[in-house]
Structure 1
Amino acid sequence: MSNFLDLPHEILLWIYRSLNSIPDAIHLAQSCKLLSCIFDRPQNRLKIFLSIIDNMPRTLSLDKVWLEDRFGAGSLWQPKKSDIPLALTNSGTRTFLTTIGFPAVKLRCVGFDSTHLTKDAGPLEPYDADELYGERFPDDDSPPTNLCFHFGSVSEWMMMVGGQDGDVSHYDPNGWDHADGYQGVIADSLESFVVLLGVLAEVADRLYMVTDRLSEDEEKEEARKAILDRLRGRMVEYDDCVEEGSKFWDNVFQCLE
């Protein structure tokens, strides 16, 4: 350890900037006073955050450890195969739920809430996607064939997972009565949505660690914008549903600015 600490500060900063997760940087800073001092410098910390976002893997092999590091121990809702409705036929969604699980959490940084998954204790309730999204005529009483399932909410907005295709869509109940409930796809799959939420939570929950160390309001705004712009760019690389023009993701990032 002593030989390591004899390295020039520029090299120690480079080591920080080679990491790919913020928790790893925090743990490194807690290891000794010198590394803590380097991490505590406001401009260093901004550079470290931006580099970590750049270094985040473009493809992830999700597991419970990665998710619980970001959402908390015991946060994953993992139903049995028998608890998943037969109408949820998408194999990727079913496999993801039974082998890894979906976080049943409240993310205060963006107002996301999926705790109903564990509070309700019953099976997922199927919704008629055609009715919600304005694709069914009022006099059409035929049985629904296009079903979706509620996996989370941001205020009144609902995140619905398609039973057949597995897409995660944004549904606004306020638009239901005038065929404007459907607000677009926000993730290509439930697994992709979880990755996006996890990356978002890792950074957004710790924005204060950069901004609180800056004295001028203008500096704080610039640092916040730089981090969020870099973060959104990386999220778009993972799933292009995050691109500007998505009502859901635009709102998420506006709330964080």
Structure 2
Amino acid sequence: MNPSAAWLGEIFGDEALWRPAETPRHLVDTATLAFLREVGFPAVLLDSVGVDATFLPVKGLWEADTDELFGRRTPDDDSPPTEISYCFATYGESHLMVDGDTGRVEIYVADGWDHGEGYGGLAFDGIAELAGAFGLIARFEPRITGDDPGSAIAELRAAVTEPGGEDGPFWTHVFETLDEEFGEG
């Protein structure tokens, strides 16, 4: 899904679409930069699934050494970073990190970084797909928190067509959270 500014603005309000005044120098992926400039990223809280991007307008992007986060280099290795990632949202102890070179959205599990278990998998191929997922969740949220959450969760599950589908690590978290909070689970 490659959502437009109009679609995201309809869902979240135009003021929720964050467009950084300056982008970090290591964020060079052209698709990411174009999306941020032309569309903007929803700096919102999706309370039903515990996903938070509200820090973006206040704090901006958290920059991190990808190899260190994902356990490909030990914390005491002082060599310069070869890859930089940026946090666009959090949920629980996990962070949705965008690779500065490729734009891939990968999950960083904060409690695993110091023992080589910080990599939580690929969430999306780019932030446009992540923003689209936010929009999709937000579209269903009123019904999920309403009178018939089971049907709404089932319809959301059926609507997921992102890479990795509902078996991907981000969607797995979303559906486990929804099932525990609102479903039969």
Aligned partner of 2:109: which letter?
D
Partners of 2:122 and 2:31 lie apart in 1 by 17
The answer on whether the counterparts of 2:32 and 2:127 sit within 8 Å (CA) in structure 1 is: yes
- The offset of 1:209, in angstroms, is 4.3
RMSD over aligned Cα atoms: 1.8
Q: Which residue of 1 aligns with 2:153?
A: 228
What is the CA deviation profile of residues 9-51 of structure 1, one whole-angstrom value per residue up to 9, with x for unaligned ones? xxxxxxxxxxxxxxxxxxxxxxxxxxxxxxxxxxxxxxxxxxx
Q: Which of the residues 86, 104, 109 maps onto 2:48?
A: 109
Summarize the alignment of residues 59-98 of structure 1 with structure 2, pairs less than 5 Å apart: 60=2, 62-80=3-21, 83-98=22-37
For normalisation by structure 1, the TM-score amounts to 0.64
1:147 aligns with 2:84: yes
Q: Which of the residues 169, 177, 180 maps onto 2:117?
A: 180
Structure 1 residue runs of 4+, over 6 Å off? none
- Which structure is higher in helix share? 1
Partners of 2:43 and 2:178 lie apart in 1 by 21
Sequence identity (%): 37
The answer on whether the counterparts of 1:63 and 1:100 sit within 8 Å (CA) in structure 2 is: yes
Aligned partner of 1:93: which letter?
T
Aligned residues: 179
Task: Considering Cα pairs closer than 8 Å and 6+ residues apart, tell me whether 1 or 2 has the greater RCO.
Answer: 2
Partners of 2:100 and 2:145 lie apart in 1 by 38
Q: Which of the residues 142, 165, 185 maps onto 1:242?
A: 165
Q: Which residue of 1 aligns with 2:183?
A: none
Partners of 2:155 and 2:45 lie apart in 1 by 24
- Which structure is higher in strand share? 2
The answer on whether the counterparts of 2:144 and 2:150 sit within 8 Å (CA) in structure 1 is: no
Partner SS for 1:151:
strand
1:156 aligns with 2:79: no
Partners of 1:125 and 1:251 lie apart in 2 by 22
What is the CA deviation profile of residues 152-181 of structure 1, one whole-angstrom value per residue up to 9, with x for unaligned ones? 111221110010110111111101121111
Q: Which has the larger radius of gyration?
A: 1
For normalisation by structure 2, the TM-score amounts to 0.88
Partners of 1:243 and 1:206 lie apart in 2 by 19
- The offset of 1:247, in angstroms, is 3.4
Structure 1: runs of 5+ lacking an equivalent? 1-58, 212-223
Partners of 2:85 and 2:128 lie apart in 1 by 16
Aligned partner of 2:131: which letter?
V
- The offset of 1:110, in angstroms, is 1.0
Partners of 1:192 and 1:183 lie apart in 2 by 18
- The offset of 1:200, in angstroms, is 1.3
Partner SS for 1:94:
helix
User: Could you say if the C-alpha distance between residues 232 and 240 of structure 1 is closer, same or farther in structure 2, counting changes exceeding 3 Å?
Assistant: farther
- The offset of 1:189, in angstroms, is 0.5
Partner SS for 1:170:
strand
